[in-house]
Amino acid sequence: MIMFNNVSMQYSETNEVALNKVNFLVEKGEFVFIIGASGAGKSTITHLITREIQPTEGTILINGKDTSTIKRRQIPYFRRNIGMVFQDFRLLESKTVYENVAFALEITGTSSKQIRRIVPNVLGMVGLSAKANVMPNQLSGGEMQRVALARAMANDPGLLIADEPTGNLDPTNAEEIMKILLDINKHGTTILVVTHDVNTVNRMKQRVIEIQNGIIVRDEQEGSYVCMEEGVE
Ligand code: ADP
Ligand code: MG
């Protein structure tokens, strides 16, 4: 569960108001797109959720917990429940596919026995069982992103955030990534996808939150338009 209550974010370095009184609730198990032009405030939302930054105003609850109350030493544990995928994949180039996924488990203190069980499992989930021993530079972009997805899912997070996951992919590979995200969602993981790939968003018929200049201008549930101004006057 993610809840933003009147959240504003003004960056102190630039005085830029990236978010202005943003409110939304994402229930456990939802699939949500966050869309909007470059600079609208999408990544700021993801950084607030992962507690990389704290809002200048308002509160953020993750699974009922106010993130401002999380102590510095608790942050790594808090983040274990959030898988992240980025546009640029961020794989470790000197490690094989298998080792990239295993590494995510090693840093959370998972036993070798568990790692040997989990890695083949998540690589199977993204259709890369046959590429376990390949180096990242021998993979296509779509395959690299699938490794990143497997790695993000290795610790079985309740929430997966993908910030422009298809930004570097052709339409076929983008579609494949979206299929895998839907599949992961079917198994109960909450999914937040930041994108400006409008075609994908329209085709997938999932909830869409649109942000413009730091303000939510649309929160549309599976195609039925919900006007945010409703009932305000
Ligand atoms: P998006 O992901 O939608 O492109 P961002 O959330 O990254 O947008 O940025 C929203 C606004 O906040 C932009 O005007 C951007 O320049 C500004 N911004 C983002 N990160 C920082 C930062 N670390 N310091 C100062 N300003 C920032
Ligand atoms: Mg961004």
52 lines ligand 1 (CB under 6 A): no
Average pLDDT per consecutive 10 residues, the chain (233 residues; last block may be shorter): 98 96 98 96 98 98 97 95 97 98 97 98 98 98 98 98 96 95 97 90 93 96 50 38
pLDDT at 200: 85
Give dist(CA 203, CA 64) in Å, integer: 32
What pLDDT score was predicted for residue 10?
Answer: 98
> Cβ(146) to ligand 1 under 6 A?
no
Of ligand 1's listed atoms, the one at least distance from the Cα of 37 is 3
Nearest CA to ligand 1 atom 6: 41
For residue 38, give the ligand nearest its CA: 1
Find the ligand nearest to 37 CA: 1
Q: Does the Cβ of 41 fall within 6 Å of ligand 1?
A: yes
pLDDT in tens, 157-196: 999 999 999 999 999 999 999 999 999 999 999 999 999 8
Q: Measuring from atom 10 of ligand 1, which residue has the nearest CA? A: 41
If you average pLDDT over every residue of the chain, what do you get? 94
**Residue boundaries of the structural domains of the chain:** 91-156
State the pLDDT at residue 223. Answer: 53
At residue 34, the pLDDT reads 97
Side chain identity, residue 41: G
